Amino acid sequence: MKVQVPVHKNNDYQGTVADLTYQGNGVVKVDDFPIFVPNALPGEQVTVKVTKVTSHFAWGRVMEWQIKSADRVETADQKLLQSGIAPLANLKYDAQLKFKQRQIQELLAKAHLNDIEVLPTMGMADPYHYRNKAQVPVKLVRGQVETGFYRRGSHKLVPTEDFVIQDPQLDKAIVVVRDLLRKFHIAPYNEQTGEGVIRTIMVRRGYYSHEMMVVLVTKKRKLPMKEELVKGIVAGVPELKSLVQNVNSQRTNRLLGNEDHVLWGESAIHDTLLGIDFTISPRSFYQVNPQQTERLYSTAIKAAELDGSQTVIDAYCGIGTISLAVAQHAKEVYGVEVVAEAVNDAKHNAKANGIRNVHFVAAKAEDQMAKWQEQGMQPDVLIVDPPRKGLDEQLIEATGQMGPKKVVYVSCNPATLVRDIQRWGEQGYHVVKPIQPVDMFPQTTHVESVTVLERTEK
């Protein structure tokens, strides 16, 4: 049976934007039926043309604004709004911070956890040019080599030189490489035919060190005009410390292959985070907004209330950023991470910084927690910083068995955070302080947060 909906494709409707979705689209309702509208802000009165209809919602685009929001940024680059790069660039920054706080509040309310307070989001003084890593596709567009970003939901490249949220030195380096590829007629990789050479340009820059790395991701080991290209990049990127070719011969969406060749300089660059020196290789995971990462981790460490006598477990420890920072305040720190290369990086970083009270294991966090629990380990504090899918139930149950006094949850997804808070409740852990959101990714809809849970009963 066909579901009757109150809107039709290509028809125009007038309405007031009621809300923003977590993807940053405005919501206009016709007889309680939602139309998702890009570049529409709460409170605006708009005429919307419906572009797509499903049984539960529709998509539309703004044809005309009758009333615009006082929070609108008129100068926002429309190209960037159409990408995943800066979908909130049309919203004033203080309103972005409130939107992120409200995301968490609304999800808590839906889960009947209204008694948990959410503090105002910690923002940045300058919410632009913060990313220390860029990875841009290279494509042939109308016969010319271009770099840019894919339009959201497509594989159509939109050429651009200013990414707004990236360190300007990264944008400049990308243009240097692009112009050299044009000069030496080095063809981009074509996904359809499998022909061509250059897939992606990746650039990293240390926030404190100002050391730069350029990675050319290629289809094959053979790189035409290699010497000329290397010479041009070295001359054009004054802060360059490392120039690497990464070979990715697979027909895949994976960005990097498993083969690295140093073309010039070092195999890695360095930067510091919370006073600790980190080695960053092409495939190292390293936080892309170091200023806010320092604030996020400082908030988490402060929340742990360490005095040097505690044993701490850092689940999902990555390259050891939290573990190594916590080590200065704890007796022993145990880190677990599923990516073996990241664990090797963590061990290297611990050794390089002379930190001896940390122990890293390559394993699934939930498996290792269960193992540690069987071995009788009794941590005082558990710190978790999981991926967007949140925590595995097995990890929460193993924690319940181990019984640490405190859990510090660093979350990058409010939806899985709220789900996990409910699961922690079954193990006798409850939120004891207001949740602190931190804006790690200004101009986007993402929000990180720090939540503290303590054992109150079992």
CATH number at residue 34: 2.40.50.140
pLDDT above 90 as % of the chain = 83
Query: Would you state the structure tokens that stand for residue 428, as one six-digit string?
Result: 């006798």
**CATH number for the domain that contains residue 155:** 2.40.50.1070
Shared-domain flag, residues 242 and 303: no
pLDDT at res. 206: 97
With 60 as the cut, is the pLDDT of residue 251 above it?
yes
Task: Say if residue 302 is in the same domain as residue 376.
Answer: yes
Q: Is residue 164 part of a domain?
A: yes
Identify whether 410 is part of a domain: yes
How many domains, the chain? 3
Determine, yes or no, domain membership for 232. yes
Q: Determine which one of 91, 326, 412, 431 is catalytic.
A: 412
Closest CA to 453 of 413, 426, 419, 425: 425
pLDDT grade, residue 457 (50/70/90)? low
Q: Please give the helix or strand (H or E) that residue 314 lies within, else none.
A: strand 311-315
Q: What is the pLDDT of residues 115-138, one digit of tens each?
A: 999 999 999 999 999 999 999 999
Tens-digit pLDDT profile for residues 51-89: 999 999 999 999 999 999 999 998 777 777 777 788 899
**CATH code of 380's domain:** 3.40.50.150
Do residues 211 and 353 both lie within one domain?
no
Please check whether residue 96 lies inside any domain of the structure.
Answer: no
CA distances from 277 to 211, 269, 329, 346, 351 (A): 13, 10, 17, 11, 11
* pLDDT value at residue 1: 54
Burial of residue 117 (CB within 10 Å: 0-12, 13-18, 19+) is: exposed
DSSP letter at 72 equals B
* Whether 302 and 437 share a structural domain: yes
Closest CA to 381 of 312, 307, 428, 427: 312
Cα distance between residue 215 and residue 200, in whole Å: 8
- What crossing angle do the helices spanning 93-110 and 414-426 adopt, rounded to 10°? 30
Lowest-pLDDT range, 51-60, 204-213, 236-245, 248-257? Answer: 248-257
pLDDT-wise least confident of 130-139, 191-200, 354-363: 191-200
Q: What is the model's pLDDT at position 87? A: 87
Res 152 pLDDT > 80: no
106 lies in a domain? no
DSSP annotation string for 225-260: THHHHHHHHHHH-TTEEEEEEEE--SSSS-S--SEE
Report which of residues 336 and 285 the model is more confident about: 336
Domain identity same for 183 and 325: no
pLDDT tens string 172-183: 999 999 999 999
46: pLDDT strictly greater than 80: yes
DSSP conformational letter for 36: E
Let me know whether 166 and 260 are in one domain.
Answer: yes
User: Bridge-partner residues for 261, per DSSP?
Assistant: 245
* Domain end position, chosen among 70, 93, 114: 70
Q: Are residues 225 and 323 in the same domain?
A: no
Binning pLDDT at 50, 70 and 90, where does residue 151 land?
A: confident
pLDDT band at 285 (very low <50, low <70, confident <90, very high): confident
User: What integer is the mean pLDDT of 34-61?
Assistant: 95
Supply the pLDDT for residue 166.
Answer: 95
What does the pLDDT read at residue 379?
A: 95
Q: Is residue 162 part of a domain?
A: yes
How far apart are the C-alpha atoms of 392 and 270, rounded to whole Å? Answer: 33
pLDDT of 150 reads 86
Domain boundary among 55, 70, 85: 70
What is the per-residue pLDDT for 454?
Answer: 97
Task: List the beta strands (DSSP E) in 346-396.
Answer: 358-362, 381-384
> Is the same domain home to 165 and 268?
yes
Structural domain containing residue 251: 133-273
Cβ atoms of residues 436 and 447 within 8 Å: no
Q: Which residues of 183-219 are buried (b: 16+ CB within 10 A; e: fewer)?
A: eeebebbeeeeeebbbbbbbbbbbbebebbbbbbbbb
Please check whether residue 116 lies inside any domain of the structure: no
Per-residue pLDDT band for 2 (boundaries 50, 70, 90) equals: low
Q: Are residues 445 and 305 in the same domain?
A: yes
Claim to verify: residue 430 and residue 374 sit in the same structural domain? yes
Are residue 331 and residue 239 in the same domain, yes or no?
no
Q: Is residue 265 part of a domain?
A: yes
Q: Residue 412 catalytic?
A: yes
Same domain, 423 and 315: yes
